[in-house]
Structure 1
Amino acid sequence: MSALHFNDWDDAPVRTTPPARPAPAQAGTAAPAPAAAPGPSLAPVNAADKRIVGGKTDINQLAPFKYPWAWEFFLKANRNHWTPLEISMAQDVHDYHHKLSGAERHVFENVLAYLTTSDILAMRNIGLAVMEKMSAPELQIYQARQVYEEALHTWTYQHCIESIGLDQQEIYNRYRVVPAIHGKIALANRRLERVMRPDFDLADRDNLHEFALSYFFFAAIFEGCWFYNGFTPIFALQRRGLMKGAAEQLQYIMRDEVLHCAFGIRVVRELLKEENLSLDPAALKTLWDEAEAAEAAYAAYILRDPILGYNADLHTRQFRFMANRRARQVGLAEPFPGAENVLPWLDEQANLRKEKNFFETRVTEYQTGGALAWE
């Protein structure tokens, strides 16, 4: 009787003796079909032939790279690995129920209500629209990581909501019933929905322009302004020693979003150059005006009563400053000339340094801490 053992990755038994030799074919039975002849060989991939969209090279062959910077984004993203369970929310529970004013609870709840929906929208846009249309695998592999990170961010908001004991149905429905929150989501859906279609033909130059404008909106405005600016009310609480656990989680999310924005802007710049394409100034102006109006309405709602050190006017002015920065990064004219950086401490939030573990019990070399360099 042959011996059996179990390997380390499967419960199925593995025999250590060779299988019995098959019996010879009996008369009248069909002989085994001959092995198929190998198919014709293919030409090797030339990195210079890769393109951001519409490339004809093998999408399954990662290297040689044409866009090595995309691979570097993937490596850097993996050094910012974390989960929400590693950050204690115990003090936040006490703060929310015993220290926050009514206005501060209103701010906290509605920021979470907006972010929970926004990150799911971001995940779907990358996974269903952008990633599917990229034809260089080094671009797709970073975007696969980005899809995971958007899911991780959604988990983080859910963890905050659940830890504090908020009414999940009520919080998650606010984007549908609160006009100022719904307005931002509706604008994003309108700007992104057409390019999500799998039959959206990028060989058509008008469609290609719409795709570039849509991706610019997503990377530079949705992630680069709305997200970057969107965490600020919670950071304003953190600066006063309140809701520090939630704020720390948002700092890690912000680091992800900084990379998402930088990657998207780099893709837009390369795409415009590669396709000899220019974004229409009139279309850009409409885009910026819509984005500013939606952000101002949102700020007026979540900060209808100012909180100490922060108000709706600061929020909207900071959006304009960030909008100018994102436009310059793409090589475009500033949409709001003269806008000032009214919250200079905001950029510091992306430069979190972690020298102890999250529960402050021992010194660690947690990868998220000192291993990352931020642009």
Structure 2
Amino acid sequence: MPAFNKNIFDTTKEYMFFGEELGVARYDKMRYPRFDSFVEQQHGFFWRPSEIDLSKDKHDFNNKLSVNDQKIFIENLKYQILLDSVQGRSPVSILLPLCSLPELETWIETWSAFEVVHSKSYTHIIRNVFNDPSTIFDSILETPEIIERANSVTQAYDKLERTTLQYKLDGVVTDELRLDLFKCMISVYALEAIRFYVSFACSYSFNERGLMEGNSKIIKLINRDEYLHQGATHFIMTRWIRGVDDPEMTRIVHDNIHLITDMLKETAEQEMSWAKHLFKDGSVIGLNEKLLANYVQFLTNECLGHLGLDKVYDVTSNPLPWMDKYTRSDDVQIAPQEAELSSYIVGGLDSNLDDFEFEL
């Protein structure tokens, strides 16, 4: 793609993807001002992991966590590092070359930048909790269960990248390319809305016991960002579902709408398998494999419902209601007396997910 498109055209008439290459970055007139709102909200959430004190966490890890607790903490940390390593670079490297709107371009860049903050957060945790960070980082890709998830997480991105290379050579938007973009967006939605939550639940369960509180504060902030990213991905997908953007993408989506259910269910099954792996040597206080499996099913049903699709699991209520105080965006804000980062909620920005309108 050229660094700057010199053609004169109206960006408000472009689709989200597969249109004119990007030229003047202007935000006075936008086809989808909602993307600019996502950018402003994400900027309002700005935070630095170095502001969180983890000195107590090191003591907790070494003196208060059981051997099984320690294993679960480490395994989840490695998995979180993997997920945000993918999300820190893939939206910019894979999605941005297909983008046709300045406001979407800025959102993708902002989104990726905050995923990098998440990655740096895990390094901050590891440096402060472990004497030798290399023991964690060097073992990430030595864990078969993590390698399996790495393949699943990157598959859709990798396939889209391959079809995009052909598109950049011949300029032809094929149905294969459209389908690959749709699959990639489903995969991203599943990652942001389902994949993180087994590890999040484990982190919050330690906090419920008064342990690893600094880590939990960081995870809360990451969780809030991921909720915003989920909302933006949902917004993209519902433009296609509702037929208000590219009619060719809507045709592909409607013809393959079953893929949303199939891919979200596949993600849920993988995360339930991850929970089984975590608890193979025993549960932790207040949390076990069955509860986490039901929670994953509950989240999957919610995600399908947000897209107007039928539920696939029998779970009708949240099996971990205490999680809401950590995961629901209007509760995620940390009160001044509870953490150092409360001042980063700036500009009167409301973190309620209603701002994204999870609706069809």
Tell me, yes or no, whether TM beats 0.5: yes
| Pairwise TM-score range, normalised by the shorter structure | 0.7 to 0.9
| Cα pair 1:79 1:368 within 8 Å, conserved | yes
Say whether residues 1:299 and 2:281 are aligned partners.
no
Residues 182-211 of structure 1 show CA distances to partners (whole Å, capped at 9, x for unaligned) of 221111122321112441537112320221
Return the offset for 1:332: 2.4
For the residue of structure 2 that corresponds to 1:231, the secondary structure is helix
Q: Choose which of 26, 33, 50 in structure 1 pairs with 2:14.
A: 50
2:255 and 2:149 mapped to 1: Cα distance?
22
Q: What is the aligned partner in structure 2 of residue 119 from structure 1?
A: 84
Q: What is the aligned partner in structure 1 of residue 208 from structure 2?
A: 239
| Cα pair 1:73 1:263 within 8 Å, conserved | yes
Q: What is the aligned partner in structure 2 of residue 7 from structure 1?
A: none
Residues 42, 253 of structure 1: CA spacing in aligned structure 2 closer, same or farther, 3 A cutoff?
Answer: closer
Gaps of at least 5 residues in structure 1 are 1-40
Return the offset for 1:317: 1.4
2:85 and 2:278 mapped to 1: Cα distance?
21
Residues 106, 42 of structure 1: CA spacing in aligned structure 2 closer, same or farther, 3 A cutoff?
Answer: closer
Say whether residues 1:263 and 2:232 are aligned partners.
yes
Say whether residues 1:223 and 2:192 are aligned partners.
yes
Q: What is the aligned partner in structure 1 of residue 65 from structure 2?
A: 100
1:154 and 1:234 mapped to 2: Cα distance?
16
Residues 85, 358 of structure 1: CA spacing in aligned structure 2 closer, same or farther, 3 A cutoff?
Answer: farther
The normalised TM-score by structure 1 is 0.81
Say whether residues 1:288 and 2:260 are aligned partners.
no
| Cα pair 1:79 1:367 within 8 Å, conserved | yes
Q: Choose which of 77, 85, 92 in structure 1 pairs with 2:50.
A: 85
Residues 166, 318 of structure 1: CA spacing in aligned structure 2 closer, same or farther, 3 A cutoff?
Answer: farther
Say whether residues 1:335 and 2:312 are aligned partners.
yes
The normalised TM-score by structure 2 is 0.84
Residues 355, 296 of structure 1: CA spacing in aligned structure 2 closer, same or farther, 3 A cutoff?
Answer: closer
Q: Choose which of 325, 331, 355 in structure 2 pairs with 1:348.
A: 325
1:365 and 1:295 mapped to 2: Cα distance?
31
2:339 and 2:37 mapped to 1: Cα distance?
31
For the residue of structure 2 that corresponds to 1:216, the secondary structure is helix
Instruction: Name which one, 1 or 2, has greater alpha-carbon Rg.
Output: 1
| Cα pair 1:213 1:279 within 8 Å, conserved | no
Q: What is the aligned partner in structure 2 of residue 21 from structure 1?
A: none
Read off the aligned partner of 2:141 and give its amino acid letter.
R
For the residue of structure 2 that corresponds to 1:193, the secondary structure is helix
For the residue of structure 1 that corresponds to 2:286, the secondary structure is coil
Return the offset for 1:53: 0.8
1:259 and 1:366 mapped to 2: Cα distance?
19
Q: CA RMSD in A?
A: 2.3
Gaps of at least 5 residues in structure 2 are 1-5, 354-360
Return the offset for 1:256: 0.5
Residues 65, 293 of structure 1: CA spacing in aligned structure 2 closer, same or farther, 3 A cutoff?
Answer: same
| Cα pair 2:268 2:300 within 8 Å, conserved | no
Say whether residues 1:165 and 2:130 are aligned partners.
yes
Residues 241, 358 of structure 1: CA spacing in aligned structure 2 closer, same or farther, 3 A cutoff?
Answer: closer
**How do residues 149-160 of structure 1 correspond to structure 2 at under 5 angstroms?**
149-160=114-125
Greater relative CO (CA pairs within 8 A, separation 6+): 2
